[in-house]
Amino acid sequence: MGSQSVEQPEPQQTWSQRFESALHPAIAQFNASIGFDIQLLECDLDGSVAHAKMLAKVGILSEAEREQIVSGLETIRGEYRRGEFNPGIDEEDVHFAVEHRLIELVGDGGKKLHTARSRNDQVGTDLRLYLRGQIEQIREQIRAFQQTIFNLASQHVETLIPGYTHLQRAQPLSLAHHLLAYFEMAQRDWERLGDVLKRVNISPLGCGALAGTTFPIDRAYSAKLLGFEEIYHNSLDGVSDRDFAIEFASAASIIMVHLSRLSEEIILWASEEFRFVTLGDTCSTGSSIMPQKKNPDVPELVRGKTGRTFGHLQGLLVMMKGLPLAYNKDLQEDKEAIFDTVATVSGCLQAMTILLEEGITFRTNRLNQAVAEDFSNATDVADYLAAKGVPFREAYGLVGKVVKTSLAAGKLLKDLSLEEWQALHPKFEADIYDAIAPAQVVSARNSAGGTGFKQVRAALERAQSLLLKP
């Protein structure tokens, strides 16, 4: 007698008696989602509690049965939170794991919980509850990120920074204006997620496997218990819709686009070529070989992680596109995509918020000096003439000429004498020097949404009032 003599427990009989043999072990492994959908456990318990209460309300369960089931489910919650509930691969998924443990805990009463329900509407319910909670948290993280941008911007209204198009110096900006561009993007992200939430917060519970159920259930009641705004009005759609997951992945991808663009700018700004910011020690790393280096790992990782969120969006779209109604096992693939998207977006928002809060210092002297040493005031010379009646296109041509001769002479526009200006065009007067000073160049762009200091102060006020909105 060898190890064979060790008694193995009878494998749990999940399927109806139609099945004669258990799954091949490798197929069981392949089929199982318990390794990742355990994350849905508390949502599964919430959904089951609501379902049990609904069954009791319509008289399918007695009050005693409902009490027994609900207290069994809460026991499982306690076990899970204490780290004592660790279902293995033989459970297939979180829904079976809970059901089996419930039956172990409360006996035959537990076998009634699955009346008028299928794992198809169950998993849809769980995923929506999960996503609802996560979206609420991500929206709070966006608010914290916006608050940090707001704080930084408030300190830098009058700090100037070169503005670029095509990564060529274009026109100088208030640094606050540049930072607030990201505040506005984040505002749209926050609103977009709020919109996604409307379509996440719909109950599929009670759609059954696909066609509804023969029992006199009250779907509106279980939906209300779970805080859903509405119920799916078509059972086939209810069990097989993952639009809400795709919408979330899309909104998350857009958030990542914004974080990645900011990351790219910070990486450039921290380089020796730009020298616009210095990175703090708590948010950067060194090189194992080059002692002089300080690397912008945080923004690089954010930029790098952006790709996986796009990948998940693509994966979900392709997963859905060929599915006949209603549930297909392909849908099990939604979970890892969603879980990883949540973890990535949330981790990146947190890291970028910390980076902006304590890991980055703008070199204001260097920035203010940078804008004084280029030709980014050239448009203002053209505007100066245009304001004095010279047609803009003509002024533009003249200024192009003076930029060319100044470049050749190694001069900046501010270095030209009044005679030189007047030789170019008699409309130039001594006030040209004020008109092309960087602070004046910025200040003058006072059109709505522009970088003029007045506009930037108004933008800060707008930002503050947005932050106060729930």
Mind telling me the catalytic residues? 166, 287
Question: Judged by CB under 6 A, does residue 147 bind ligand ARG?
Answer: no
Least Å distance between CB 13 and ligand ARG?
16
- Indicate which single residue of 39, 48, 68, 120 sits in contact with ligand ARG (rule: CB under 6 A): 120
Instruction: In whole angstroms, give the CA distance from residue 354 to residue 304.
Output: 18
CA atoms within 13 A on the CB side of 459: 30
Q: Is 332 among the residues that bind ligand ARG (CB under 6 A)? A: yes
Residues 6+ apart with CB under 8 A from 449: 455, 459
Contact region with ligand ARG (CB under 6 A), list: 12-20, 22-30, 330-338, 346-354: 330-338
| Cβ distance to ligand ARG smaller for residue 335 or 445 | 335
Contact 259, 352 (CB under 8 A): yes
Instruction: Answer yes or no whether residue 93 interacts with ligand ARG by CB under 6 A.
Output: yes
| Cα distances (Å, whole numbers) of residue 352 to 175, 346, 358, 392, 464 | 18, 10, 10, 43, 20
Question: Is 205 among the residues that bind ligand ARG (CB under 6 A)?
Answer: no
Residue (242 or 445) nearer to ligand ARG, CB: 242
- Degrees to nearest 5, angle at CA 189 with 184 and 194: 125
Confirm if 294 and 272 have CB atoms less than 8 A apart. Answer: no
327 binds ligand ARG (CB under 6 A): yes
Specify the stretch interacting with ligand ARG by CB under 6 A; choose among 21-29, 119-127, 226-234, 371-379.
119-127
- Spatial separation of the C-alpha atoms in residues 188 and 254, rounded to whole Å: 10
- Tell me if 91 contacts ligand ARG by CB under 6 A: no
Cβ atoms of 47 and 226 closer than 8 Å: yes
Q: Which is nearer to ligand ARG, 42 or 67 (CB)?
A: 42
Among 18, 329, 393, 469, interactor with ligand ARG by CB under 6 A = 329
Report the C-alpha gap between 372 and 120 in whole angstroms: 65
3 state SS of 381: helix
Nearer to ligand ARG, 130 or 228 (CB): 130
User: Closest CB to ligand ARG among 146 and 240?
Assistant: 240
Residues 24-53 that bind ligand ARG (CB under 6 A): 33, 37
Question: Given the rule CB under 6 A, which residues bind ligand ARG?
Answer: 33, 37, 93, 119-120, 123, 327, 329, 331-332, 335
